[in-house]
Amino acid sequence: MTGRDLDPTLLRLLGSDEPELDCDECFAQLDRYVELELRGAPADALVPGLRAHLVGCPACAEEHESLRALLELDSVS
Amino acid sequence: MPAPDTNPDVSALAAAPALEDWHLDLHTEGARRDEAVVRLHGLLLRAARFEVFRRRNSLSQLSAVELDELAQDAADDAAVSVLRRLDDFRGESSFRTWAYKFALLEASVKVRRRAWRDREVTLEPEQWESLAHAGPGPDDDVESGALLEAVRDGIRSALTPRQRQVLVATVLEGVPIDVLAERLGSNRNALYKVLHDARRRLREHVAAAGFPEANQ
Full set of structural domains in chain B with CATH: 19-115 (1.10.1740), 127-214 (1.10.10.10)
Pick the more confident residue, B37 or A8.
Answer: B37
Distance from CA of A45 to the nearest CA of B (A): 16
Average pLDDT value for residue range A4-24: 89
Selected residue with higher pLDDT from B128 and A52:
A52
Could you tell me which chain B residue has the CA closest to the CA of A37? Answer: B93
CA distances from A47 to A68, B13, B93 (A): 16, 29, 13
Rg (CA), chain A: 14
- Give the minimum alpha-carbon distance from B15 to chain A in angstroms, rounded to a whole number: 24
Q: Looking at the predicted structure, is the pLDDT value of residue B135 above 50? A: no
B107 touches B71 (CB < 8 A): yes
For residues B80-108, give the mean pLDDT: 97
Residues of A in contact with B131 (CB under 8 A): 9
Count Cβ atoms within 10 A of the Cβ of residue B95 and give its class: 0-12 exposed, 13-18 middle, 19 or more buried.
buried
Give the C-alpha separation, B101 to A63, whole Å.
8
CB-count burial class (<10 Å; 0-12, 13-18, 19+) for A54: buried
> For residue B94, which phi and psi values (nearest 5 degrees)?
-70, 155
User: To the nearest whole angstrom, how far is the Cα of A19 from the nearest Cα of chain B?
Assistant: 11
CB-based contact B213 A22, cutoff 8 Å? no
pTM confidence score: 0.87
- The mean-pLDDT minimum among B8-12, B52-56, B96-100, B169-173 falls in B8-12
Q: What number of C-beta contacts closer than 8 Å exist between A and B?
A: 122
8 A C-beta contact, residue B78 and residue A20: no
| Mean pLDDT, residues B138-167 taken together | 87
Q: Are B191 and A6 in contact (CB under 8 A)?
A: no
Give the residue from A70, A72, A76 with the most B CB atoms within 10 Å of its CB, the best one to mutate: A70
Share of chain B above pLDDT 70, in %: 82
Of the listed ranges A32-36, B12-16, B67-71, the least confidently predicted one is B12-16
pLDDT of residue A30: 98
Of B94, B176, B216, the CB nearest to A17: B216
Q: Please state the φ and ψ torsions of residue B52, each to the nearest 5 degrees.
A: -60, -40
Write out residues 2-61 of A within 8 Å (CB-CB) of B: 2-3, 5-10, 12-17, 20, 22-24, 27-28, 30-32, 34-35, 56-59
Q: What is the DSSP letter of B125?
A: T
pLDDT at A48 over 80: yes
| Average pLDDT of the segment spanning A40-46 | 98
pLDDT given for residue B215 in this prediction: 72
- Is the pLDDT at A36 greater than 90, yes or no? yes
* Cα–Cα–Cα angle for B120, B126, B132, rounded to 5 degrees: 100
Q: Is the pLDDT of residue B1 over 60?
A: no
Provide mean pLDDT across the span B50-56.
Answer: 97
When pLDDT is averaged across residues A21-41 and rounded to a whole number, the result is 98
Determine the residue among A1, A4, A7, A13 to mutate to test chain B binding: the one whose Cβ has the most chain B Cβ atoms within 10 Å: A13
Mean pLDDT for B124-145 is: 62
Q: Using CA atoms, how far apart are residues A50 and A55, in angstroms rounded to an integer?
A: 9
* Phi and psi based region of residue B153 (left: phi greater than 0; alpha: psi -120 to 50; beta: remaining): alpha
Q: Which residues of A touch B188 (CB under 8 A)?
A: 23, 59
Residues B139 and A60: their CA atoms lie apart, in Å, by: 36
Instruction: Please name the residue of chain B whose CA is at the shortest distance from the CA of residue A14.
Output: B199
Cβ distance B202 to A9 less than 8 Å, yes or no, reads no
